[in-house]
Amino acid sequence: MQVGFELHLKQSLKLSLTPELKQAINILQYSTHELLDFLKEQANENPIIEMTAVANNHLAPISESSIPTHKVDYRIRDSSPKSNQFGSNNDFNPINNYSCTTETLEAHLLEQLSLVKTLKDSETKIVEFLIGSLNENGFLDIDINWTASLFSVPIEEMESMIQVLQSLDPIGVGAKDLTDCLLIQIRKQENDNQLAYTIVENHLTDLAEKRYRKMADLYKVTIKEVQEAADFIRTLNPRPVSQFSDEMISYIVPDVFVEKEKEGFLITVNDSYIPTLSINPYYKDYITMKPGNPANDYVKTHLHDAQLLIKGLEQRQMTLYKVTATIVDAQQEFFLRGMAGLKPMTLKDISEKLQLHESTISRATSNKYIQTPHGLFKLRNFFTRGLNRVNGKECESTTTIKEKIKVLIADEDKIKPFSDQLLCQIFESEGTMISRRTIAKYREDLGIPGSSKRRRF
């Protein structure tokens, strides 16, 4: 065998992701909040870009020639300042002018403590220390012996100060754990429920598993009495300090609005939160004004990047509009009737209608929300699998099946609740082919317990 170097010519075709294509892909899959952060970052890095805080119809008008318009009249709303109260030049947003009055748990308790005039200064300092030692659930998980030695007081006095803390609002604060929290709330009730107190103290696990018969036999009471005690326990608050959570509230901004009108549906791509991008005219004319300047290459590069960014925004809005319009066309029953009208649909169905790749449809619907006449939904919620019906011609989406299960269980006889097998038979009688295991899976997805745990006595 001859060993050596040889030179060959080979022709091949391959797809490479250019920086421009990568940017267009990222812009398409960004949510409104992510896109806003991205645009701010680009404006800071590129001096050619000028960014105005509020969008003023800066995108090119979207053509409807390629949108399926049979049965439904699709039109895009004018996003000019006249039709958008948040798009005016005064940049007024009522949410930004809403006063934040959130009160912390510590401040709430210290304010109440200041009104307790029966405590000595040393005792007040102990209670203040206990308030500062509460965890995020409002529980006091400290070593009482160590705390008593820290303040050089007897354990009995420390327990008395803990009781002072537990007497403050909200009831249940300062408890050792969940059981203690519920017991404190029961003791504060006017009507003493001894059975409920005993169940919480000794049988929380049995209560969660609804082992009513076991507890009834143990304490020589009827199952109905145990059930009434369980109903009372469920009125208690296992997280009494949840209203004082420091977690930030995340507001969802819809990317698309769909409204019902007489002649069809009105689709609006929400650009009220997207700033207006433009090219600085000085840099735009800089190249022609100063030919041969060493800075021309720098200006050309950033000018090219700015033009690609603006073009990417226009493509994003166009693609999002087309995808939404096609979804509305395919899911008209949902927009007219709600969840009961949702049909099975896949990414491939939309990609074939728009002659786009499935990955493009996936990116266009990722992290996007749509405001419909029936509420706010993720665009991805419209892509669901289906179950065949007996006639083989129709198909129901899994979301519709789950909605029917929820309705059937809500209307069932609580003394004789539907088993999974009985629910399966009900669906089969209506022509839907579904197994008992599938019913059980969907029921668990809905957070609904089994029939034995739903039964009332």
The CATH number that applies at residue 149 is 1.10.10.1330
What's the confidence (pLDDT) of residue 371? 92
CB atoms within 10 A of CB 96: 7
Residue 180 placed within a domain: yes
**Contact criterion met (CB below 8 Å) for 240 and 173:** yes
- The token duo for 360 is 């493009």
Domain end among 378, 410, 432: 378
Percent of the chain with pLDDT over 70: 83
Residues 153 and 223 in one domain: yes
For the cut 70, the answer to whether the pLDDT of residue 249 exceeds it is no
CB atoms within 10 A of CB 70: 6
Cα atoms found within 13 Å of the Cα of residue 419, Cβ hemisphere only = 5
Q: How confident is the model at residue 390 (pLDDT cuts 50, 70, 90)?
A: low
What's the confidence (pLDDT) of residue 303? 86
**Mean pLDDT along residues 216-239:** 90
What's the confidence (pLDDT) of residue 208? 86
Query: Between 19-29 and 296-330, two packed helices, what is the crossing angle to 10 degrees?
Result: 40
What's the confidence (pLDDT) of residue 215? 92
Q: How confident is the model at residue 320 (pLDDT cuts 50, 70, 90)?
A: very high
For the cut 80, the answer to whether the pLDDT of residue 397 exceeds it is no
Residues 397 and 350 in one domain: no
What's the confidence (pLDDT) of residue 101? 54
What's the confidence (pLDDT) of residue 78? 37
For the cut 90, the answer to whether the pLDDT of residue 290 exceeds it is no
Could you give the CA distance from residue 384 to residue 392 in angstroms, rounded to a whole number?
18
**Contact criterion met (CB below 8 Å) for 160 and 147:** no
**Contact criterion met (CB below 8 Å) for 241 and 108:** no
Residue 2 placed within a domain: no
Residues 351 and 405 in one domain: no
Domain end among 210, 244, 278: 244
Q: How confident is the model at residue 285 (pLDDT cuts 50, 70, 90)?
A: confident
Residues 68 and 138 in one domain: no
Beta bridge partners, 257, equal 268, 371
Residues 203 and 268 in one domain: no
Per-residue pLDDT of 356-375, as tens digits, reads: 888 889 988 988 999 999 88
Residues 172 and 61 in one domain: no
What's the confidence (pLDDT) of residue 30? 86
Per-residue pLDDT of 149-175, as tens digits, reads: 999 999 999 999 999 999 998 999 999
Q: To 5 degrees, how large is the angle CA 342–CA 344–CA 346?
A: 125
Residue 35 placed within a domain: yes
Candidates 365, 332, 368, 321; CA nearest to 346 is 365
Candidates 183, 229, 187, 172; CA nearest to 206 is 229
Candidates 286, 289, 290, 291; CA nearest to 48 is 286
For the cut 60, the answer to whether the pLDDT of residue 42 exceeds it is yes
**Mean pLDDT along residues 294-318:** 86
Residues 356 and 312 in one domain: yes
Residues 240 and 109 in one domain: yes
Residue 37 placed within a domain: yes
Lowest mean pLDDT among 54-68, 132-146, 377-391, 395-409: 54-68
- Cα 267 to chain center, whole Å? 23
Residue 188 placed within a domain: yes
Helix, strand or coil, per DSSP, at residue 74: strand
Residues 295 and 332 in one domain: yes
Residues 291 and 416 in one domain: no
> For residue 431, what is the domain's CATH number?
1.10.10.60
Residues 161 and 209 in one domain: yes
Per-residue pLDDT of 330-359, as tens digits, reads: 888 888 888 878 888 889 889 999 998 888
What's the confidence (pLDDT) of residue 387? 65
Could you give the CA distance from residue 259 to residue 374 in angstroms, rounded to a whole number?
10
Q: How many domains does the chain have?
A: 3
Identify the sign of the CA torsion 437, 443, 447, 448. negative
Could you give the CA distance from residue 170 to residue 109 in angstroms, rounded to a whole number?
9
For the cut 80, the answer to whether the pLDDT of residue 324 exceeds it is yes
For the cut 60, the answer to whether the pLDDT of residue 94 exceeds it is no
Lowest mean pLDDT among 74-88, 232-246, 258-272: 74-88
- The token duo for 435 is 């197994």
Provide the residue range defining the domain that includes 34: 19-92+252-378
- The token duo for 21 is 């294509």
**Mean pLDDT along residues 420-424:** 89
Domain end among 188, 214, 244: 244
- The token duo for 246 is 């420091």
Mean pLDDT of the chain, nearest integer: 81
Residues 73 and 146 in one domain: no
Residue 97 placed within a domain: no
Could you give the CA distance from residue 363 to residue 19 in angstroms, rounded to a whole number?
17
**Mean pLDDT along residues 83-109:** 57
Q: How confident is the model at residue 413 (pLDDT cuts 50, 70, 90)?
A: confident
What's the confidence (pLDDT) of residue 49? 87
Could you give the CA distance from residue 81 to residue 53 in angstroms, rounded to a whole number?
13
Percent of the chain with pLDDT over 90: 18
Residue 149 placed within a domain: yes
DSSP 227: H
What's the confidence (pLDDT) of residue 395? 65
Q: To 5 degrees, how large is the angle CA 361–CA 366–CA 367?
A: 155
Residue 6 placed within a domain: no
Cα atoms found within 13 Å of the Cα of residue 196, Cβ hemisphere only = 20
